[in-house]
Structure 1
Amino acid sequence: MDIRTKNKIESSLEIKVEPFRSGIRKTNPHKHHKYMEIVYLSQGEGAHTIDYDTYQIDQPILFFIQKDQMHHWNLQSDPKGYVIIMKKGFLDNSKDKQLIDLIGELSHYPSLSVKETSTINQLFDLLTKEVKLSGKYQHDIVEGLLKTLFSKLLNHSSPKVENQSTYNATFIQFKELLEGGDQVINSVNHYAELMHTTPQNLNSIVKNATGISASVFIGEYIIKEAKRMLLYTNMTASEIAFHLNFKDSSHFTRYFKRKVEVTPVQFRNS
């Protein structure tokens, strides 16, 4: 069984902001391959699962779903809120480092409990209108509104951002390479060569952004991918091992057990 992929944005668009669709109750596990999704709910009860973590919806609440993350909804009441869909191309066309840093900080928190809503609701409402307009300075207007919105969310949400991570374009490029390849390569040298930098420099950038080394970051991503495949597909251990670039299934099983303390089969059946 392949993981279901949904696409909710036209190919010609780089960003989309719209009200959260009313009437949604339950969705099947799926992912979005071409974009990240930021969901703000001011109404609604139930649960939202991202990868293998389930969050109870205690609104107002914000969810950050990264590209290729699995997620699904299980709602018990009519939701109300907004959705931002953002492709990599939107950020590639941005010259505003602060906006990229703010998105990086937000992406560190899959779920945020929002404390102040009046201004945030107004900003979302403005964005739904402005992203549909065209003009010489329209991209700047949208970026300005996004910066204000994301700054407000980080200032008036829990957990509070105290030790702020510094996300930059190089780190985002590294994540894109790691997440976008046909196979995951468990090698800092490999990604450093693709980015025309040294392993030491890449390690410094990743550590500054996340607090962990590049090799640990890659290892954590490999385990996340393995868990997704075990939970949401019928792929065998051999197939998962191939996708994650292990030499065989026994090597994958040993690696997984060392990191998770259970075998892949035990994790899938738990």
Structure 2
Amino acid sequence: MLSADKMSELQYAFKLNHTYYFDDFNDDDEFLNATQKLIEDKCFIIVFGTTNDADELYDKLLFFNQYYFPVSEIKGYLKKGAYFAFRSDLFKGYSLRNRLKDLGFLEYSMQESLVLKDNHQRLIAKLFNLLVEETKMPQSEIHSTIIASYLNLLLYHMQRFYQRFMEDKSDEINALQCQFLKELYTFFDQERRCMLAPPTATLLSKKLNCTARFLNDISLKVSGKTAQYHIENFIVTAAKQLLAETDLSVAEIAERMKFEHPQSLTRLFKRKTQITPLDFRISII
């Protein structure tokens, strides 16, 4: 294990001269000590290692960044492995830099990560080793291009693995989508005719014990629509009910729907229905 001074020296060199850094670790404390500063420096970290999940050891590929680095969950979970840290400017001039934003699994929690078995494990191990070996090569004009290519290939394979996972677990995924839509209705109190809280993908994902990005990807897979699309439809449906069954003004309805400004409800309503709330009320008289 590197000493604290040596680690600090390496991280300083990394920050000044490099857009990537690689190391291995033998326990979770070693990993956390080595990566906390990298996370603070807004690095993205890919971990290929052995985890302790439900008292069994598994091989997984995990993804961490400045927005998701759950120290308390990592402790006792990671056993050993290796990690590759990089900043987004590694991909300056590459389409991969933009692709990172579109890969939903990069924002999944550790609990939502895939267990890598047999051929999948061997394939990812080979790709990760190629990536690691390239980090040891002398700096050259093509060096960053090769690293970006290996990383791109690694992410493509993970994307394919998750697509297969979605297909193989269709029953569970459909059930989660049904539960998501069911939970939406708990936000509106029919008796009091008001929204109990603004429904958001973050709140709903917490109720369903998953991440907002996982919920969104499930929704896209099952319905072809984002989670936000269903949330907005639910809000507009509730607003239509109040417009049709009460004499409340649009401003009063917006307040009951937990909008800060009536204009926000009007804009959403018109975007989803092509007419304003008032026009809708007139149309049903």
- Smaller-chain TM-score range? 0.3 to 0.5
Instruction: Tell which has more relative contact order, 1 or 2 (C-alpha 8 A, sep 6+).
Output: 1
Which has the larger Rg?
2
Higher helix proportion (structure 1 or 2): 2
Normalised TM-score (structure 1): 0.45
Normalised TM-score (structure 2): 0.43
